[in-house]
Homo-oligomer: A and B are copies of this chain.
Amino acid sequence: MADTQLTSDVPEAVAPSGVYDADGFVDGAFLERVEAAIEGENPAYLREEVGRLHESELGDLLEALDNDARQSLVRLMGDEFDYTALTEVDEAIRLSIVDAMPNAQVAEALRELDSDDAVYILEDLDEEDRKEILDRLPFRERIRLRRSLEYPEESAGRRMQTEFVAVPPFWTVGQTIDYMRDEEELPESFAQIFVIDPSFKLQGAVDLDRILRAKRPEKIEDIMHETRHAIPAEMDQEEAAQIIEQYDLLSAAVVDENERLVGILTIDDVIDILQQEADEDIKRLGGVGDEEISDTVLTAARSRFSWLLINLATAILASCVIGLFDATIEQMVALAILMPIVASMGGNAGTQTMTVAVRALAARDIDLYNAGRIIRREALVGLLNGVLFALIIGLVAAVWFESAGLGGVIAVAMVVNMMAAALAGILIPLVLDRFGADPAIASGTFVTTVTDVVGFFAFLGLAAFWFGLG
């Protein structure tokens, strides 16, 4: 987060040297010096050396320290600790630090932060702490933060920054420049100013370079552009981020239900949101929900349990299919030896197709008009690779078990399962997406269930038929 830092103005003695090693990890020697200063209760050193870090560097340092050292660091640094760094660490670390602080101190810390960073920290706290902290804040800040917190989680209203520059349309460029020169209470950094009428209704926006290139007597309303992409505060953060990304905006106005300007979303929020969403997609495809590396053993085990339980159910289903052919296997053990190959190849081919489909859906590259074309393409890819691998595995099996018949059976089963994999890999995400489900979270199980069941059934069924077994 930390979007008012939209600037290249990074503290003096910081990176590129000192904090990170050549691989981009927190430098070992630096970390040891900090740990020594924490153990030796040396606040002077910490305030000096850690106090000048950029918030993101401080965040990385916090993540590299163990929990006790983190708490001590915050305590020893006192006022010199930059609480913005809390927006740069995992939720578990953030909570462990904030929960260890008295509410009065949290309130004091939040006053120094931009509204969006303060909301980011407040939203994870429990109801009671949040209320007590808000009550300790001055009236204006309390109102602003409460309003943001009233918008739904992961909405534009939650992520917006309520500090911005807004001027009336009838001002001249000269008046606007003079206002910016004299006004003390401006955001730390900004790239755009907004134009509003007396009721705060959004009229337009002007980029700073446009103001700099205009003559002083020009009216703001003559150089502003309409803000066609005002973001409703209730809008999902991902949708808002995609709009800002698509139209290459530096910042976008966030408006309430009466089209009044209530905040702005800046492009670095967008980066955070898009990174977070990509991270979610990857983790969902891997079956690990919203887990973070700093979660406790119990949290991680619990969040993975449900996914594994679903997988167990589908694995038992596949075993039932094998169970249908127990007599066949008893007469020909080679089938038991070879059957995982057919299932595994199908599973991998299905995962490949599914990965492409999930990404294309996320990028809106598949729609009604090209779905047919893409399904045909996947079926053809499945057929092509199916035939190639059928030849390879057919040959391997025939030589291994000295049976041309067995080679033929596994070859046919391979083609069948690779085709099934291709179709399941493309159709399951499409159907889930059509019904409003997130294809990233559920496709994997369904696809491998199909390829396991089809793989075992095709191979064992064909073998039973061909060799007259069972």
A126 at the interface (CB under 8 A from B): no
Q: A166-200 vs B: 1/0 string, CB under 8 Å?
A: 00000000000100110000100111100000000
How many copies are assembled? 2
A352 at the interface (CB under 8 A from B): yes
Q: Which of B26, B31, B189, B369 contacts A31 (CB 8 A)?
A: B369
List B contacts of A256 (CB < 8 A). none
Q: Which of B64, B209, B287 contacts A367 (CB 8 A)?
A: B64
Check A10–B355 contact: CB distance below 8 A.
no
A278 at the interface (CB under 8 A from B): yes
Check B271–A282 contact: CB distance below 8 A.
no
Determine the distance from Cα of A429 to Cα of B401 in the docked complex, in whole angstroms: 36
A396 at the interface (CB under 8 A from B): yes
Check B212–A345 contact: CB distance below 8 A.
no
A305 at the interface (CB under 8 A from B): yes
Q: Knowing A300-B381, A308-B348 are in contact, say whether A370-B225 is a contact too (CB < 8 A).
A: no
Check A345–B308 contact: CB distance below 8 A.
yes
List B contacts of A64 (CB < 8 A). 367, 369-370
Check B385–A305 contact: CB distance below 8 A.
yes
Q: Knowing A189-B209, A212-B181, A385-B305 are in contact, say whether A340-B318 is a contact too (CB < 8 A).
A: yes
Identify which of A75-83, A144-152, A309-317 touches chain B: A309-317
The chain B residue with its CB closest to the CB of A384 is B301
Q: Do most interface residues of chain A lie in helix, strand or loop, or is the interface mixed?
A: helix
A99 at the interface (CB under 8 A from B): no
Q: Which of B212, B278, B319, B377 contacts A275 (CB 8 A)?
A: B278
The chain B residue with its CB closest to the CB of A448 is B344
Check B283–A285 contact: CB distance below 8 A.
no
Identify which of A38-46, A102-110, A357-365 touches chain B: A357-365
Q: Knowing A288-B356, A377-B297 are in contact, say whether A385-B308 is a contact too (CB < 8 A).
A: yes
Check B54–A247 contact: CB distance below 8 A.
yes
A279 at the interface (CB under 8 A from B): yes
List B contacts of A137 (CB < 8 A). none
Check B205–A248 contact: CB distance below 8 A.
no
Determine the distance from Cα of A396 to Cα of B323 in the docked complex, in whole angstroms: 14
Determine the distance from Cα of A367 to Cα of B392 in the docked complex, in whole angstroms: 42
Determine the distance from Cα of A24 to Cα of B5 in the docked complex, in whole angstroms: 32
Check A286–B336 contact: CB distance below 8 A.
no
Q: Knowing A208-B191, A208-B209, A285-B282 are in contact, say whether A249-B8 is a contact too (CB < 8 A).
A: yes
A252 at the interface (CB under 8 A from B): yes
Check B2–A248 contact: CB distance below 8 A.
yes
List B contacts of A304 (CB < 8 A). 349, 352, 381, 385
